[in-house]
Chains A and B, each alone.
Chain A
Amino acid sequence: MTATARRKPPLSRVPANFVRAVLKGHSSLGLAFAAIIYLVCLTGSIAVFAHEFQRWESAGAPRLTTVSPDAVQHALEAAIARVGGNVEHGYINLPTPDLPQATVSVEKDHVQQGWIFDANGNLVAPGDAPFSEFLTRLHINLHIPGSWGIFIVGLTGVALLSSLISGLLAHPRIFRDAFHLRLGGSRRLQEADLHNRIGIWALPFHVLVSLTGAVLGLTTIIVGVLGMALFQGDAAKVYALFIPQAPKDDPRPAPIIDLRPMFPTVDRVAPHSRTDLILLEHPAEMGAAAMFNVQREDTRLANYDAYAFDRGGKLYHSVRSAENNLGERILGAIGKLHFGWFGGGAVKVAYALLGLGLTYLAAGGVTIWLARRRDKRNPAPGLERLWAATIWSQPVALATTALATAALGGMVSKQALIVTWAAVTLVILFSALRVEAATLSLWLKRASGVLLIATALVHLLRFLPADAVIWSVDIGLLACGAVLLWLAGGATAQPVPVPAV
């Protein structure tokens, strides 16, 4: 064996036909799932800042760092009174550094209503955050009812994971090309370089978010099959391994459960901690129970304890995160690792940037395929138009919903935002029937840039916020708008007659 042959990277010895076969599979899978992967990744990149957007939406609400037990009790009683009793469940979110506000929600007849409360426990504003809710649910289940939406998103995570595997196998020059980034010149080469460099250098992040996303999305079906195969069809037995048992059902009416004596118990059993969430079961029945989700102040990823109390304030269930086994620790970490909610603002920014890279990966794959067709003198102008519309409809549609939220505030509902998003998307997709791809993408970039800048300005003028985080969100929106307008300017200057997506 010669010295040159010895130095050859192992991947470059992979048979060419194998690489081409894998590339065929990679291409087919990418084309089949590109649009949905793009949408899920784009919304996921924005949803990293879900708490900041929630804060942005409720800019006028009181900011709290702590709340007294008396205020919590008062807020709960006021919320139950507002819906006229007979509440099945209650949820009390207490202030956190990310979201310094307190909310109480109650569920009656499967309808949930919520309010923000002040330091005295008075309900001062609706607790809805329609834009944040719209955005996160679009990422989690595409607003498709039942378990279908979340399953489709889970399947998308699997497709993304599969694309990463096949993309890696289909790229024998992975190390030799590790730093090639050739912009300009051939559009196909430029897009391939961007696709491959982003794909390789952010690979651990891509694997992490696709794997955790797939597990989160497929939980229902995995647990269902586990229950069917191993627990005589009873999926509840699988869940029971992870969540505390509800107390014995006793539907006799009773005064509202008193949470105040539970706070000192939590302080005693979990010192140096912060209660983030209180979940209530039938708070106005004899069988009432309250579960405190308590975050410990340490450096562990899964650092939530759970303490459940019955109506009499007796602690009947406790799970200390420090004593969790590996499986429980993985479960506690999956959501945080998926959304980037484990290392403060810097990690969120890194996650958003890497998420946008993944979004570009999904979009760029189809662009490469279209450019390859054009290179082989077999262009698909219709598909080029459709893809340009698909890609650029989303910034426009999402920016329109953000502008509606900023302008109309509490008057806009989540349903209205879904309708707005769907209408804008459909109009743009239909416009692809008539408008050429380059023109379409140019105008949609301009439109999304202008809409984002308008959103930030309207929000700033309307609320004149004192909160630095809200300012950061508005400045971020302005910056994104400026980047989109700059991209549109660059696109106008480019003379290259290849598909512009």
Chain B
Amino acid sequence: MMTFAACLPMLAGGALGAWALRRAWRSSPEKGAGDRALGWAAIIATLVWPAFVLGDTRGPFIALAMVSVAALVVVATGATVRVAKAGKSGRAGRVSDSLAPEPLDRPTNRWRSILRWLLAGPIGMIAAMAVGICYSVWVPGEAQTRLLIGALIVPVVWGGAMAWTLADNRVIRATAVLVGTALAGFSLAILKGFA
């Protein structure tokens, strides 16, 4: 019940923060400084005070969810509705409207594509495991802590490797870096062993 009651001021704090940031966003940079400061202050305060009321880790994680929900509601209230244009959708979605860049149209062949996906998939996974295990072996601390943080490193590094290899035009460079990382990571880990 206490958690539920605490969620309401968290939603209010998140909404205030997002509302102030939107005011800053709508005004000129000079005029919006106060609103920007208020917005960030409200959001940071909303993330911090629950730690004292609902638990040092539990509180901020609850606040994180509430601030996101409140901010999305604020964004939704500022939606502009345009008249749908029938006919040529190409014209309706002019590039000047979107300003989103087009994905790169790079020349490729089957083998480069296969290698790119191998790098993003299994090779990236092995490299990420090497980094995670190397961390677990070499960083001091309790065994459980080292293993858990090592395990958390694996998806982060794998995800980063995936994003990089699928974007990088130089596939051989990516191969060298990932294979090198895997070899170095596992060698260093085996060299020391887990203690």
Contacts and interface: CB of A to CB of B under 8 A. Distances in A.
B101 A23 contact: yes
A241 B101 contact: no
Contact of B58 (A178, A299, A371, A496): A299
A162 B163 CA distance: 5
21 contacts: A22-B167, A159-B162, A161-B155, A165-B160, A179-B78, A184-B81, A185-B85, A185-B92, A202-B68, A208-B61, A214-B154, A222-B151, A230-B190, A326-B144, A327-B149, A330-B145, A337-B61, A343-B61, A344-B4, A347-B65, A354-B68
A20 B142 CA distance: 43
A183 B82 contact: yes
B75 A179 contact: yes
A178 B21 contact: yes
**Shortest 4 CB-CB distances between A and B: which pairs?**
A299-B55, A25-B166, A327-B144, A185-B82
Contacts of B4: 344-346
A166 B167 contact: yes
Interface in A351-382: 351, 353-354, 357, 371-372, 374-377
Given A300-B55, A325-B144, A347 B7 contact: yes
Given A185-B84, A346-B7, A354-B68, A161 B156 contact: yes
A222 B169 CA distance: 30
Contacts of B72: 197-198, 201-202, 357
A377 B136 CA distance: 52
Interface of B: 3-4, 7, 18, 21-22, 25-26, 29, 54-59, 61-62, 64-66, 68-69, 71-72, 75-76, 78-87, 89-90, 92-94, 97-106, 120, 125, 129, 132-133, 136-137, 141-152, 154-156, 158-160, 162-169, 186, 189-190, 193-194
Contacts of A7: 29
Contacts of B7: 343, 346-347, 350
A327 B89 contact: no
A220 B97 CA distance: 47
A26 B100 CA distance: 13
B133 A226 contact: yes
A189 B65 contact: no
Nearest to B25: A179
Contacts of A498: 89, 92
A375 B95 CA distance: 9
Contacts of B66: 346, 350
Interface string A188-223: 110010000110011011001011001100110010
A193 B32 CA distance: 23
Given A179-B78, A187-B89, A229-B190, 10 more contacts: A24-B166, A158-B158, A165-B159, A188-B93, A189-B98, A205-B64, A215-B151, A299-B59, A327-B145, A342-B61
B81 to A, nearest CB: 5
B61 to A, nearest CB: 6
B120 A300 contact: no
A2 interface: no
A437 to B, nearest CB: 13
Contacts of B25: 178-179
B155 A211 contact: yes
Contact of A242 (B56, B80, B136, B144): B144
Contact of A211 (B56, B152, B194): B152
Contacts of B56: 299
Contacts of B143: 241, 327
A262 to B, nearest CB: 26
Interface in A78-113: none
Contacts of B85: 185-186, 496
A169 interface: yes
A469 to B, nearest CB: 14
